[in-house]
Each structure stands twice: as structure tokens, then as C-alpha cells.
Amino acid sequence: MKNITIRQLKAFESVARHLSFSRAAEDLHLTQPAVSMQVKQVEDQAGLPLFSHIGRRILLTEAGKLLLRHSMVILADLKAAEQSIASLQSGGAQRLRVGLITSGSYFFPHLISAFMQDRSHINLDMTVRSRDQLIGLLRSDQIDLAVMVHAPDDPAIVAEAFAPNSFVLVAAPTHPLADERDIPYARIALECLIVRESGTDTRSAANDTFRSLASTPRFMEIGCAEAIKQSVMAGMGISFLSAQAVQSEVRAGLLKVLDVQGFPLKRHWCAVHRADRHLPPAALDFRQFLLAEGGARLEHFTGIDKVHTGMDIPRPDDAARETRTIATTSARHEVALRTRALLRDDGLPDEHHVQGQNHAGGDDSSADQLAARRKSAHH
């Protein structure tokens, strides 16, 4: 196989990874006949079939599996060499390719800002995707490190915990369960539970939590955390979310963390990377930063370990409640800023659209109506 080209190897690797010639063609921006021809040339040089065809499906043969393992290493080494050369050309700048699940966007900017403060030589390339998509990017060497909660049980993937992450059940403050204590799970099973889509960390945690129980709530699937929170505020149901993702709404009085038996559900944020690859210097530096400082910094930024069910906080009298209503105006503006923004496909607000938003309506009005109802109830 001494005459095989990098282009042919990339074509084979893409087909083997997707088990599809059409998807490989899209991945490589080539026509399907061009991909098929290059894979045929690789098979001719190997002297063995690399794929078996079963109907319209293709599967890797033993020779194909062997070549895929080696081709992934070769292409990853080539990518690392390209990055090293680019670093020399740019005067020593290093590239940090990191992936992040969508719910991590509530805290990750604080961590990356602290990390980058004294590292002007590092250029950040951050990708926000679902858990399953990030694992795919790791396997295809498109990112070096991923930050997620539920890493796959796979010896080819290394996951190292660096900070706690709690999942909670939340409802609108006007929900019948909002002021209940020690709610039994059987009561939750009667509710409509609004959840993220399959393939996300939040959905995986929800599935793990409710799968083993005798009865489960009715699931309503919405593919955006911000839309889920707005749906809960509107009274469409309760939701299962990361405590870090709802902290602003809880502090603003727009959502209430339910005091449910067995909650909050404790999990951990993990730094995840491939076991068969040496991390580039920038990714290795960031991994060490997360393991050494990530937990403490995350607690400092969010105070999330202090936000359990919220039921241990003394109930304020009416005067204190009105004072708190005034004090949370800025928090409501933060929520309105984020939820009124146009959302990109990756789930993050577009800052250019956010800056032009009018914060006078929408979320603020619903929160003020809630405060008014509380006040009128007092009188």
C-alpha cells in the first residue's frame, strides 16, 4: 500500500466512519462517484475487500476495521503536524479546540476567561453541540477536548470529573407543587415533564433517573433549554434541567426548584478526550486547569452548591418579599436578554441580535404580574 494517497485515505476513513458513501461525499465535499472510485483504489492496493454489502447497507470487513484504526492514527498525526507548523508560522500561537454541551454555556465563558487571562498565545476554537455530536467530533479528531456530563462507557474515551453538577426539577412559582415539601416521586409521575432531545446530556440523565421507576411522567420534548424554561414559566409542565442552567430564573423568582424526594440528582462535569491520542499542549494545559481549578471556580461563579431545593431558605414576610422583587429586577433583565435573543443552531444567543433587544416586555411583564398577584393576595 505504499502508493496510497492522503486523499484516498481520507475518503476511506470517512466512508468507514459514516458507513455511507453519500454521507462521506457530503463530509468531503465530493461527488459520490468520486468517493467510490477512491475507496476502490484503496481496496485494490490492499488486495482485500474493505467493505461488505448487505442489501443497501455496508459494513466493514476485518481488513477494513484494521485499516480504519491505522488510518485514524495517520490522519490525526497529520493534523497534529499541520497544527505544529501553523503554530510556528504564527509566531508560537497554539490552538485550543474544545467542545461543549449546550447547558455548559451558562458557566463555561467564566472558566475560559480565567484560563485565557495569562495565555495570550492560545487561540480558542470552541464548538457547542449535543453530547453525541461531541463524541463524534472527538472520534473524528475535529476537537481535542470536550466538556460534558455523561461520557460514554468506552475504553477509547477518557473522562475525568472536575466539578459537581446537580439536576433539579423546576416549575412555575404558581404551580400547585411549588410550595410543597418532600414531594413523593409518585406525584411527579402524574406531571408532564418537559425534556431535552435524545443525544443530550440532560436527556440522558432524565432517562437514567426515570427508566428504573415503576411509573414515569409523560415526556414532552423540546430541543432548546431556553424554550423549555419559557414553557415551564407558561405553565405547560415541569422540567428536568441542570441547576446551573436555571440559576438566574430561580434567583429572579421566575422558576421554582421543586423539593422532590431523591433530588437534586448529583452528577459531575467531565473533561473528555480520546485515550489513544496525546493532547496538544494547549488542550493539555486546559485539561490541567479544569482538574485543578475548575470545581472551585465554578462554585465561585455560580454558587450552585448552595442552591439545592431552595426549600431550606426561610420564607420572607411580605415586606421582605417586595424588597426581593425590586432587588431581582436586574436578574430578570438577564433572563429576558437571553430568552428574547435569536438562537443559533448550536443553542447560543447571537450577541449582535441581543444587543438590539428591547427589554421592556415579555419576560419582565410576566414576572411583574407574578409580583402583583403576590401583593394583591397580601392586601
Is the pLDDT score of 332 beyond 60?
no
- Exposure of 317 in the CB half-sphere (CA atoms within 13 A): 1
Domain annotation for the chain: domains and CATH numbers: 6-86 (1.10.10.10), 92-163+269-302 (3.40.190.10), 314-379 (no CATH)
Helix (H) or strand (E) holding 163: strand 157-171
Contacts of 332 (CB under 8 A, 6+ apart): 252, 254, 363, 364, 367
Best CA proximity match to 103, nearest among 84, 123, 78, 131: 131
Q: Which of 89-103, 164-178, 182-196, 215-229 has the lowest mean pLDDT?
A: 89-103
Can you give the pTM of this predicted structure? 0.59
DSSP code for 349: B
- Asked whether residue 125 carries a pLDDT value surpassing 50, the answer given is yes
Question: How confident is the model over 126-160, as pLDDT tens digits?
Answer: 999 988 899 999 988 899 999 999 888 888 899 99
Distance CA 186, CA 188 (A): 5
Please, which residues have CB within 8 angstroms of residue 218's CB and are 6 or more apart in sequence?
Answer: 191, 192, 193
- Express each pLDDT in 162-200 by its tens digit: 999 889 999 999 999 999 999 998 898 899 999 998 888
Whether the predicted pLDDT of 309 surpasses 70: no
Site of grid cell 472551585: 296
Q: What is the pLDDT of residue 90?
A: 62
Structure confidence at residue 211 as a pLDDT band (50, 70, 90): confident
